[in-house]
Amino acid sequence: MMSAAIVAVFSMSCSKIEDTSEEQEIGFAVASYVPQTKAGEQSIITVDGVRAFKCKAFLHANGAVAGTDYFGAAGETIEYNASAWKPASHPYYWPKHPDSYINFVSWYDKNGAPTGTVTETSMVWENRTIAVDDNIMFADEAWRFKNNDSAVYKQDGVTAGVPTLFHHALAKVKFQFNASPLTDPNDNNTTFEVKLQTVSLSSVHKQGTLTLTNADPGATRQNAWTPDVANYFWLAKDAASNIAMVSSNTDLTETPAILYPSAADQSTYSITAQSVLPQQVTDAMVLSITYAITIKYNGSVILAEQDIPASIQLNTLKNGSNVAITDWLPNKIYTYGITINPLTDQILIDPAIDADWATENVSATIE
């Protein structure tokens, strides 16, 4: 009996108990949906420089029908740190009961937050005024997750976590100007200098409401949000107004360094891509500009003009596929390349006479 007891104690002291707390800690695998690339999803750090977002977690303990706020009523900030996306305040752990699961609703808002209550089935931005530097994103809802899934989005060094795919809720618009030619093709001694003075766009809605809804798919997976308006347009609540884009002279070159910039490079010629509500590009959206031209001959100014006006109805402009852009859709940057031609009609002299020489015979008699 004594011998058996000693053996039993010895066996217990040598058994190995693994620490699985790291595996049970909730983490996130995060990506950004970028349709203009063919490489698939990319990190939101790479695309937008975003290293933190908000998330609400709804715990259905033991399979309960109603979920509770596992991250608290206000939700948690999820931060990226050391190759991991995790809650910023403290670790959260997966429930152990096999029937328990959690639904995750995630969003990012640079200058605010959803103004309505965020639930498992709805998210609302109401009467939100969009600033030129705004960035609003929402992720497909992750339904019925019970553990860190093998990373669908292998970004930022993450190997497992709640799959979190973000979509942009806004569009961006950029106007890229250049001048051509800057040397008279018929006389190399004549050169042009062109300055962009002002740029404004009329009849743009800046305030609106976006309502998103979701539904339990009954399985462990991501589920896209459904907007209350097609194309994820925002319901505009304000009267359309003007957007002023340039307020000082900007020298134009003949060939822009970057005509169609990426999301990470949007500042060429001091006109940054501006965030706008997704909306229809109406007939009333008119781009109005003023510019200045200086004409020189052998370096000497022969003509200088200021405040030359020009206007373009925006929805008449076509893309490379010869299709007019009549909508600004979310998740897209619209770059309008506009060239100013400084070459005007050369002053010419066209001399003429009324008629050929004619002989008039006049006679006189002297007596």
Q: Where are the alpha helices (DSSP H) in the chain?
A: 2-14, 21-24, 44-48
Q: What is the pLDDT of residues 171-209, one digit of tens each?
A: 999 888 888 899 999 899 999 999 988 889 999 999 999
Q: What is the pLDDT, as a whole number, of residue 1?
A: 32
Residue 7 lies in a domain: no
pLDDT at residue 256 greater than cutoff 90: no
Q: What is the pLDDT, as a whole number, of residue 2?
A: 39
Q: Give the domain extent around 335.
A: 172-196+251-340
Residue 243 lies in a domain: no
For residue 131, give the H/E element and its range. none
Residues 142 and 53 reside in one and the same domain: yes
Residue 349 lies in a domain: no
Residues 163 and 190 reside in one and the same domain: no
Which of 154, 169, 184 corresponds to the end of one domain? Answer: 169
Residues 51 and 133 reside in one and the same domain: yes
Residues 191 and 334 reside in one and the same domain: yes
Global pTM?
0.81
Residues 33 and 66 reside in one and the same domain: yes
Question: Would you put residue 90 in left (φ > 0), alpha (ψ -120 to 50) or beta?
Answer: beta
The dihedral sign for the CA sequence 264, 267, 272, 273:
negative
Pairing type for strands 171-179 and 333-340 reads parallel
Residues 61 and 151 reside in one and the same domain: yes
Which of 129, 150, 169 corresponds to the end of one domain? Answer: 169
Residue 205 lies in a domain: no
* Cα distances (Å, whole numbers) of residue 184 to 143, 187, 196, 290, 341: 64, 5, 20, 22, 11
Residues 58 and 190 reside in one and the same domain: no
**The two three-digit tokens of residue 331, written as one number:** 């998740």
Residues 98 and 155 reside in one and the same domain: yes
Residues 39 and 157 reside in one and the same domain: yes
String of DSSP letters for 66-134 = S-EETT-TT-EEEEE-SS-EEESSS--B---STT-EEEEEEEEETT---SSPP-SSEEEEEEEEPPTT-
Residues 162 and 36 reside in one and the same domain: yes
The CA distance from 233 to 327, in Å, is 9
Residue 216 lies in a domain: no
Residue 34 lies in a domain: yes
First CA to last CA distance, the chain:
178
Q: How long a stretch of residues is the chain?
A: 367
The confidence band for 15, taking pLDDT boundaries of 50, 70 and 90, is very low
The CA distance from 10 to 258, in Å, is 73
Pairing type for strands 149-150 and 160-168 reads antiparallel
Q: What is the pLDDT of residues 286-335, one digit of tens each?
A: 999 999 999 999 999 999 999 999 999 999 998 888 899 999 999 998 98
- Which of 28, 54, 46 lies closest to 109 in space, CA to CA? 54
Helix, coil or strand: residue 11: helix
Total domains present in the chain? 2
The CA distance from 145 to 135, in Å, is 28
Residue 58 lies in a domain: yes
Q: What is the pLDDT, as a whole number, of residue 337?
A: 84
Residues 73 and 140 reside in one and the same domain: yes
Q: What is the pLDDT of residues 92-115, one digit of tens each?
A: 999 999 999 999 999 999 988 787
CATH number at residue 109: 2.60.40
- Note whether 249 and 194 are within 8 A (CB): no
Q: What is the pLDDT of residues 29-47, one digit of tens each?
A: 999 987 645 456 788 998 8
- Note whether 25 and 92 are within 8 A (CB): yes
Helix, coil or strand: residue 3: helix
The confidence band for 248, taking pLDDT boundaries of 50, 70 and 90, is low
Residues 29 and 93 reside in one and the same domain: yes
The CA distance from 216 to 64, in Å, is 14
| Chain-centroid distance, C-alpha 307 | 32
Residue 75 lies in a domain: yes
User: What is the C-alpha R_g of the chain?
Assistant: 33
